[in-house]
Amino acid sequence: MHVVVLGAGYAGVTLTQKLESVLPESVELTLIDASETHLVQHELHRAIRRPSITDAIEIPLSSLFDRATIVTDRITEIDTETNQVSLESGDTLEYAYAAVCLGAETAYYGLAGLKEYGRPLKSVSDAEAIRTEALAAIDSGNPARFVVGGAGLSGVQVAGELATLAAEKDATDRLDIVIVEQLESVAPAFPEAFQTALESELTERGIEIRTETTIRRATESTIETTHDPTDEEHTTDYELFVWTGGIGGSPPMAGDRPAVQSDLRLTDSTFGLGDAVRIVDADGQAVPASASAAIRSARVAANNIRSLLEWNLEGRKGFEPRLEQFRFDVPGWIVSVGDGAVAQVGPKVLTGPAAKTLKASVGAGYLSSVRAIGQATELVSEELQI
Ligand SMILES: Cc1cc2nc3c(=O)[nH]c(=O)nc-3n(C[C@H](O)[C@H](O)[C@H](O)COP(=O)(O)OP(=O)(O)OC[C@H]3O[C@@H](n4cnc5c(N)ncnc54)[C@H](O)[C@@H]3O)c2cc1C
Q: Which domain holds residue 174?
A: 114-245
Out of 31, 153, 326, give the residue to mutate to test ligand 1, the one with the largest number of ligand atoms within 8 Å of its CB: 153
Nearest ligand 1 atom to the CA of 334 is 8
Asked if residue 164 is part of any domain, the answer here is yes
Asked if residue 136 is part of any domain, the answer here is yes
Q: What is the predicted pLDDT for the residue at 386?
A: 60
pLDDT tens profile 259-310: 999 999 999 999 999 999 999 999 999 999 999 999 999 999 999 999 999 9
Q: 285-322 burial string, b = 16+ CB within 10 Å, else e?
A: eebbbbbbbbbbbbebbbebbbbbbeeeeeeeeeeeee
- Residue 358 has φ and ψ, to the nearest 5°, of -60, -40
CB of 149 within 8 A of CB of 243? yes
Same-domain status, 78 and 123: no
- Give the Å distance between the CA of 26 and the centre of ligand 1: 31
Asked if residue 121 is part of any domain, the answer here is yes
Q: What is the largest CA-CA distance in the chain?
A: 74
DSSP-derived secondary structure letter, 263: T
- Give the Å distance between the CA of 237 and the centre of ligand 1: 30
| Residue minimizing CA distance to atom 29 of ligand 1 | 9
Rounded Cα gap, residues 58 and 105, in angstroms: 19
- Give the Å distance between the CA of 102 and the centre of ligand 1: 8
Single residue among 245, 261, 284 that ends a domain in this structure: 245
Single residue among 215, 245, 275 that ends a domain in this structure: 245
Q: What is the predicted pLDDT for the residue at 103?
A: 98
Q: What is the predicted pLDDT for the residue at 5?
A: 98
Same-domain status, 139 and 219: yes
For CA atoms 301, 254, 247, 362, the dihedral sign is positive
Same-domain status, 199 and 143: yes
CATH number, position 199: 3.50.50.60
Same-domain status, 241 and 254: no
Q: What is the predicted pLDDT for the residue at 203?
A: 97
227 closest CA partner among 210, 209, 243, 244: 210
Same-domain status, 198 and 229: yes
Asked if residue 194 is part of any domain, the answer here is yes
Nearest ligand 1 atom to the CA of 39 is 49
Single residue among 330, 353, 371 that ends a domain in this structure: 330
Q: What is the predicted pLDDT for the residue at 374?
A: 87
Nearest ligand 1 atom to the CA of 298 is 25
Out of 42, 89, 253, 297, give the residue to mutate to test ligand 1, the one with the largest number of ligand atoms within 8 Å of its CB: 42
Asked if residue 158 is part of any domain, the answer here is yes
pTM equals 0.95
327 closest CA partner among 283, 294, 367: 283
pLDDT tens profile 196-211: 999 999 999 999 999 9
- Give the Å distance between the CA of 7 and the centre of ligand 1: 10
Asked if residue 109 is part of any domain, the answer here is no
Q: Which amino acid is at 65?
A: F
Same-domain status, 170 and 183: yes
Same-domain status, 123 and 239: yes
Same-domain status, 92 and 13: yes
Same-domain status, 118 and 226: yes
20 closest CA partner among 294, 302, 372: 302
147 closest CA partner among 133, 167, 139: 133
CA separation, residue 293 to residues 14, 89, 279, 281 (Å): 11, 31, 9, 10
Asked if residue 355 is part of any domain, the answer here is no
- Give the Å distance between the CA of 203 and the centre of ligand 1: 28
CA separation, residue 87 to residues 93, 102, 153, 220 (Å): 8, 14, 32, 36
pLDDT < 50 regions, the chain:
none
Same-domain status, 178 and 227: yes
| Residue minimizing CA distance to atom 4 of ligand 1 | 42
As to burial, measured by CB atoms within 10 angstroms (0-12 exposed, 13-18 middle, 19+ buried), residue 188 is middle
DSSP-derived secondary structure letter, 120: P
Out of 54, 74, 154, 190, give the residue to mutate to test ligand 1, the one with the largest number of ligand atoms within 8 Å of its CB: 154
CA separation, residue 264 to residues 27, 29, 78 (Å): 21, 19, 17
Q: Angle 166-207-52 (CA atoms, 0-180°, nearest 5)? A: 40
Nearest ligand 1 atom to the CA of 13 is 25
DSSP-derived secondary structure letter, 51: G
Asked if residue 98 is part of any domain, the answer here is yes
Rounded Cα gap, residues 375 and 371, in angstroms: 9
State the average pLDDT for the chain: 95
Same-domain status, 265 and 163: no
Q: What pairing do the DSSP bridges indicate for beta strands 278-279 and 207-210?
A: unpaired
Question: Residues near ligand 1 with C-beta < 6 Å?
Answer: 7-12, 32-35, 41-42, 44-45, 74-75, 101-103, 121-122, 153-154, 157, 250, 252, 274-276, 289-292, 294, 335
DSSP-derived secondary structure letter, 267: S
User: In the chain, how many domains are there?
Assistant: 2
Same-domain status, 217 and 274: no
